[in-house]
Structure 1
Amino acid sequence: MDFEGVLLTAVGAALILLMIADVFHTLLYPHGSGPVGRTIMRGFWLLSRKLRGGASSVAAPLAMAAVIAAWATLAAVGWALLYLPHLPAGFSYSNDIPRKADFAEALYISLVALSTAGFGEIVAVHPILRLVMAFQAVAGFGLLTATVSWILQTYPALSRRRALAHQLNLFREAAGPAGIASLEARHAAALLESMAENVASVSIDLLSFHETYYFHEVEQRGSLPATLAYAHQLASEAQDSDNTELRFAGRMLYAALEDLAGVLRGKFGHVGDTSSDVFDHYELHHRHRRPPAPRS
């Protein structure tokens, strides 16, 4: 193999390793996200905010589709570059199939192997190439199942976030201006402890499913960024209560909110000296609160 063939092989192997690493960090690593997926998700998010003046509800689904397409492209092009130096001598062709040695031919072989469709007109003859193609077929099947699993894992996390937002809104509507003072202390404590548990689940979801952050809710009622300030208010009111059980529940909710603020600050770059400031920035970033008008 000449220098050009070695270079193509090295570049192809690098693309394949990048795809594998990105899939691993996105789907298997509990508190991480791959560089390709993270860049695409954030890029779509920033582009939608720039074009629309606010977050878009379709940006995140489109970004997920773009991430899946990027994984498939990296795999297809990577393996094509591995095959290209061995065309056409490393493959056996049927009698009616022209023998070519260009990138389009290598990409065709790669795509057919990646899709596990199989073909009979072009077959690898070198033992190593046969193993490489078999491995690509296995990787293609794994990539397909991994993307399906990714989608199936993402939407339950979004449902938990929406459920928490609805719970807070229902509590606000039912309690009215009096807040937790309108409830018996024991009942209010149980509700706040339930909210603390749900807030903790959302924090874990944001760490495990980085992409869920970029999903924007059309209706403010189901938007967590628009309701976290109220949860913070409830925690503060409960901690000022004379009831021991209610104060404990307030501390639990406050601690859960502090953890969530830490995730938003450390993972997604939200700024603020206090958790309340972080939540205000989070709400503003998702465009559920208009920025203050400039002073004249």
Structure 2
Amino acid sequence: MPVVVVAWVLLILLGWSLVYWPHLPSGFVFGSGLDSSARASWTDAVYLSAVTLATLGFGDIVPADGWLRIAVPVEALLGFPLITAAVSWVLQVYPALTRRRALAVRLSLLRRVDTVGLVAGQRSVLAASVLENLAMSMAQLRGDLTQFSETYNVRDADQNLSLPAMLGVATELTEAARRSAVPDVRHAGELVEAAVGDYLDVVDKQFLRVGGSAQKIAAAYADDYGQRIAPAVSGG
């Protein structure tokens, strides 16, 4: 998305500057303090195009010819949706990053309190609920990564905030759920396993391209972020 927006901005900015350039300075009225005879360069045309595209409206260079008085507002109308798209992208990307970090922190907390033991035990309601919430969060992150692939390039040095480092916790929870005698827990574990697998599949297809098992992709994912997969039970 940012690459597309930047490309469109550059194309429009430079394209319209070439439209304005042949008509500088005769086709425009210049504000006081500006020497119109010295305002005929391509850089002046780029400046005019940039100010118009950004809808700043300084008023130091104003179109005088009739068709230019129509052309300049047209460029401004093109610039407004581009600015809106850029701002919207930023406002959508940061919540996606926040959700990824929040899940990493949640997995870190589950690791600290030895949730593997809970899942392997007989408290089916609580264990199944924990696993189902993890599956829902992983499914949401898969959608975030598909829609905002740029978030992959944002890396967190803190292990507790790094999802690649904490995915091992989810994997070991699914293994514990598989050994559970409670059907609800086993089912919830299968949901987590499927959600993690789908997420890693997106990571591999879009970025890593290592292929193989989910464990292999998870290891490559952590390595790409400069992390090591944390064990399910904290040593601290």
Q: TM bucket by the smaller chain? A: 0.7 to 0.9
- Judged with a 3 Å threshold, the aligned counterparts in structure 2 of structure 1 residues 121 and 237 are, in CA distance, closer, same or farther, namely closer
Aligned residue in 1 for 2:232: none
Matched residue, 1:249: 188
Gaps spanning 5+ residues in structure 1: where?
1-25, 27-33, 38-66, 291-296
1:231 Cα deviation from its structure 2 partner? 0.7
Q: Which residue of 2 is the match for residue 167 of structure 1? A: 106
For the 8 Å contact 1:175–1:182, the answer to whether it is kept is: no
Paired residues, number: 227
RCO higher in 1 or 2 (8 Å CA, sep ≥ 6)? 2
Cα distance in 2 for partners of 1:160, 1:266 equals 21
Deviation at 1:167, TM superposition (A): 1.2
- In the other structure, the counterpart of 2:47 is 108
Q: Contact 1:93/1:121 (CA < 8 Å) preserved in 2?
A: yes
Q: Does 1:123 align with 2:62?
A: yes
TM norm structure 1? 0.68
Which residue of the other structure, out of 92, 95, 98, is the alignment partner of 1:153? 92
Q: What letter is aligned with 1:172?
A: R
Q: How many angstroms apart in 2 are the aligned matches of 1:180 and 1:72?
A: 52
Q: Provide the rounded CA distance (Å) in 1 between the counterparts of 2:80 and 2:54.
A: 7
Question: How far did residue 287 of structure 1 move?
Answer: 0.3
2:74 alignment counterpart: 135
Is the deviation greater in 76-85 or in 261-270? 76-85
Higher mean C-alpha displacement, 224-233 vs 136-145: 136-145
Q: Distance in 2 between matches of 1:174 and 1:237?
A: 15
1:254 is displaced (CA, Å) by 1.0
Tell me if 1:192 matches 2:192: no
Unaligned 5+ residue runs, structure 2? 230-236
Of the three residues 85, 89, 92, the one matched with 2:22 is 85
| Aligned equivalent of 1:279, options 218, 225, 228 | 218
Q: Which residue of 2 aligns with 1:63?
A: none
- The equivalences for 1:1-296 within 5 A come to 26=1, 36=3, 72-93=9-30, 97-99=35-37, 100-175=39-114, 178=117, 180-182=119-121, 184-289=123-228
CA RMSD of aligned residues (A): 2.5
Q: Shift in Å at residue 71 of structure 1?
A: 6.1
Deviation of the 1:90 alpha carbon = 3.2
1:111 deviates by 2.2
Matched residue SS, 1:118? coil
Could you tell me the percent identity over the aligned residues?
39
The structure whose Rg is larger is 2
